[in-house]
Amino acid sequence: MPKDNYNADTIEVLKGLDPVRKRPGMYIGSTDARGLHYLIWEIVDNSIDEALAGYGKEIKVELNTDGSVTVSDNGRGVPVGINHETGKNSLEVIYSMLHAGGKFGQAGGYKVSGGLHGVGGKVVNALSTYMKVTSMRDGHIYEIEFKNGGQKVHDVIDKGETRKTGTVVTFKPDPKIFSTVIFNYDTIKERLKEGAYLIKGLKMSLVDHNSNKKDEFEFEDGIKEYVSDMVKNKELMSDVTYFEGTEGPIDVEVSMAYTQGFDETLISFANNLRTRDGGSHEVGYKTAITKAFNDFARKFNLISTKDANLEGNDLRCGLVGIVSVRVEESVLEFEGQTKGRLGTPLAKSAVEDVLYEKLTDYLHANKALAEAVVEKAQKNAKAREAARKARNMIRLDKKDKKELNLSSKLSPAQGKNKDINELFLVEGDSAGGSAKSGRDRSYQAILPLRGKVLNTEKATEESALQNQEIATMIYTIGADYGDKFDVKKSNYKKIIIMTDADDDGAHIQILLLTFFFRYMRPLIEDGRVYIAVPPLFRVTNKGGKNNFMKYAYSTEELANILKKLNKDNVLISRFKGLGEMSAEQLWETTMNPETRTLIQVKLEDFDEAEGEVDLFMGDDAERRRNWLENHVQFSLEDEYEIDKLDLTQGEE
Ligand code: 0RA
pLDDT digits (tens, 9 = 90+) for 312-359: 999 999 999 999 999 998 999 999 887 899 999 999 999 999 999 999
CB 39 within 8 A of CB 65: no
Q: Which of 594, 549, 597 is nearest to 573 (CA)?
A: 549
Confidence (pLDDT) at 509: 86
CA of 52 to the centre of ligand 1 (A): 11
Residue ID of nearest Cα to ligand 1 atom 4: 78
Judged by DSSP in three states, 192 sits in: helix
- Its sign, for the CA torsion 38, 43, 46, 47, is negative
For ligand 1, atom 12, which residue shows the shortest CA distance?
Answer: 47
Residue located nearest, by CA, to atom 17 of ligand 1: 79
pLDDT tens-digit series, residues 434-446: 999 999 999 999 9
Distances (CA, A) of 429 to 104, 578, 580: 74, 10, 12
**What residue ranges of the chain are covered by domains with CATH 3.30.565.10?**
18-217
185-198 and 223-230 helices, crossing angle to 10°? 120
> Probe ligand 1: pick from 4, 39, 40, 46, max atoms within 8 Å of CB?
46
Given a cut of 70, whether residue 616 has pLDDT beyond it is no
Q: Who wins on pLDDT, 365 or 386?
A: 365
Rounded distance between C-alpha atoms, residue 462 and residue 40, angstroms: 48
Residue 642 makes CB contacts below 8 A (sequence gap 6+) with 553, 554, 557, 597
Lowest mean pLDDT among 38-47, 107-116, 180-189: 107-116
The region of weakest confidence among 195-204, 259-268, 389-398, 490-499 is 389-398
Domain 223-386, what architecture? 2-Layer Sandwich (3.30)
155 SS3 class:
strand
Q: What is the DSSP letter of 296?
A: H
Alpha-carbon dihedral sign for residues 372, 378, 384, 386: negative
pLDDT greater than 80 at residue 220: yes
Whether 346 contacts 331, CB under 8 Å: yes
Cβ–ligand 1 contact at 471 (below 6 Å) = no
Give me the pLDDT at residue 517, please: 87
Which residues share a beta bridge with 265? Answer: 320
Pick the most confident of 45-49, 68-72, 574-578: 68-72
Ligand 1 in reach of 42 Cβ (< 6 A):
no
d(CA 128, CA 148): 7
**How many residues would you count in the chain?**
652
pLDDT of residue 437: 94
In this predicted structure, the answer to whether residue 621 has a pLDDT above a threshold of 80 is no
Candidates 583, 590, 584, 575; CA nearest to 537 is 575
CB atoms < 10 A from the CB of 544, how many? 12
Nearest to 489 by CA among 498, 503, 476, 499: 476
Tell me which of 45-54, 357-366, 624-633 is least confident. 624-633
pLDDT value of position 417: 95
| C-alpha 165 – ligand 1 centre gap (Å) | 10
DSSP class of residue 311 equals: P
- For residue 401, pLDDT over 80 is answered with no
- Binding site membership of 74 for ligand 1 (Cβ less than 6 Å): no
Q: At what angle do helices 367-394 and 345-365 cross, to 10 degrees?
A: 120
Substitution site in 49, 112, 122 for ligand 1 pocket (most atoms within 8 Å of beta carbon)? 49
Any ligand 1 atom below 6 A from CB of 79: yes
Q: What's the confidence (pLDDT) of residue 286?
A: 98
pLDDT band at 13 (very low <50, low <70, confident <90, very high): low
> How far is residue 522 CA from its own chain's centroid?
11
* pLDDT at residue 650 in the model: 27
pLDDT of residue 572: 86
pLDDT digits (tens, 9 = 90+) for 169-179: 999 999 999 99
Q: Which residue has the higher pLDDT, 406 or 613?
A: 406
Query: How many of the other CB atoms lie within 10 Å of CB of 147?
Result: 15
> Is residue 516 pLDDT above 60, yes or no?
yes
Residues of the chain with CATH 3.30.230.10: 223-386
Q: Is the CB of 50 under 6 A from ligand 1?
A: yes
Pocket flag, ligand 1, residue 454 (CB < 6 Å) = no
Residue 73 beta carbon below 6 angstroms from any ligand 1 atom: yes
Question: Which residues, listed in sequence order, are joined to residue 251 by a DSSP beta bridge?
Answer: 246, 326
* More confident position, 199 or 13: 199
How sure is the predictor about 547, in pLDDT bands with cuts at 50, 70 and 90?
A: confident
Q: What is the pLDDT of residue 104?
A: 36
Between 101 and 304, the more confident residue is 304
Confidence of residue 636 (pLDDT cuts 50, 70, 90): very low
Residues marked as catalytic: 427, 500, 502, 504
Q: Which of 4, 110, 167, 168 to mutate to test the pocket of ligand 1 (most atoms within 8 A of CB)?
A: 167
Confidence of residue 637 (pLDDT cuts 50, 70, 90): very low
Please give the pLDDT value at position 228.
97
Confidence grade of residue 455 (pLDDT, cut at 50, 70, 90): confident
- Does residue 150 surpass a pLDDT of 90? yes
Is ligand 1 within 6 A of the CB of residue 120? no
The CATH number that domain 397-534+600-619 falls under is: 3.40.50.670
**Whole-angstrom Cα distance, residue 133 to residue 355?**
42
CB of 412 shorter than 6 A to ligand 1: no
- Point out the ligand 1 atom lying closest to the alpha carbon of residue 73: 12
Instruction: For the chain, count helices (H), then strands (E).
Output: 21, 26
* Predicted pLDDT of residue 101: 38
Contact 289, 316 (CB under 8 A): yes
Per-residue pLDDT, 167: 98
User: Which atom of ligand 1 lies at the shortest distance from residue 166's CA?
Assistant: 14
Q: For residue 414, how many other CB atoms are within 10 A of its CB?
A: 11
- Mean pLDDT, rounded, of the chain: 85
Closest CA to 501 of 458, 530, 537: 537
Residues of the chain with CATH 3.40.50.670: 397-534+600-619
Q: Whose CA is nearest to atom 1 of ligand 1?
A: 107
From the CA of 110, how far away is ligand 1's center (Å)? 10
- Which residue's CA lies nearest to atom 8 of ligand 1? 78
Which fold is adopted by the domain 18-217?
A: Heat Shock Protein 90 (3.30.565)
60 and 71 in contact (C-beta within 8 Å)? yes
Nearest CA to ligand 1 atom 2: 107
- Whether the pLDDT of residue 607 is over 60: the answer is no
Provide the pLDDT for residue 111. Answer: 39
C-alpha of residue 130 to centroid of ligand 1, in Å:
21
Residue type, 341: R
List b or e across 621-636, with b for residues whose CB sees 16 or more CB atoms inside 10 angstroms.
Answer: eeebeebbeebbeeee
Q: Does residue 46's CB lie within 6 angstroms of at least one atom of ligand 1?
A: yes
**Could you tell which of 73, 78, 112 is best to mutate to test the pocket of ligand 1, judged by most ligand atoms within 8 Å of the CB?**
78
How large a percentage of the chain has pLDDT more than 90?
60
Spatial distance between the Cα atoms of 199 and 193, rounded to a whole number of angstroms? 10
318 lines ligand 1 (CB under 6 A): no
Please work out whether the CB of residue 476 comes within 6 Å of at least one atom of ligand 1. Answer: no
Q: Is 115 in the pocket of ligand 1 (CB under 6 A)?
A: no
Least confident of 362-366, 474-478, 603-607: 603-607
Ligand 1 centroid distance, CA of 79 (Å): 6
Task: Tell me the percentage of the chain whose pLDDT exceeds 70.
Answer: 83
Distance 143 CA to ligand 1 centre (A): 14
Indicate whether residue 78 lines ligand 1 (CB < 6 A): yes
Q: Is the CB of 135 under 6 A from ligand 1?
A: no
81 Cα to the center of ligand 1, angstroms: 12
Exposed/middle/buried for residue 162 (C-beta within 10 Å: 0-12, 13-18, 19+)? middle
CA of 55 to the centre of ligand 1 (A): 9
- For residue 649, what pLDDT is reported? 27
Q: Between these two residues, 106 and 55, which has the higher pLDDT value?
A: 55
The CA 76 to ligand 1 mean position distance, Å, reads 6
Lowest mean pLDDT among 197-211, 413-427, 520-534, 557-571: 557-571
What's the CA gap between 474 and 561, in Å, rounded? Answer: 42
Q: How confident is the model over 101-120, as pLDDT tens digits?
A: 333 333 333 334 444 445 78
What would you report as the CA-atom Rg of the chain, rounded to the nearest whole angstrom?
Answer: 31
pLDDT band for position 575 (50/70/90)? confident
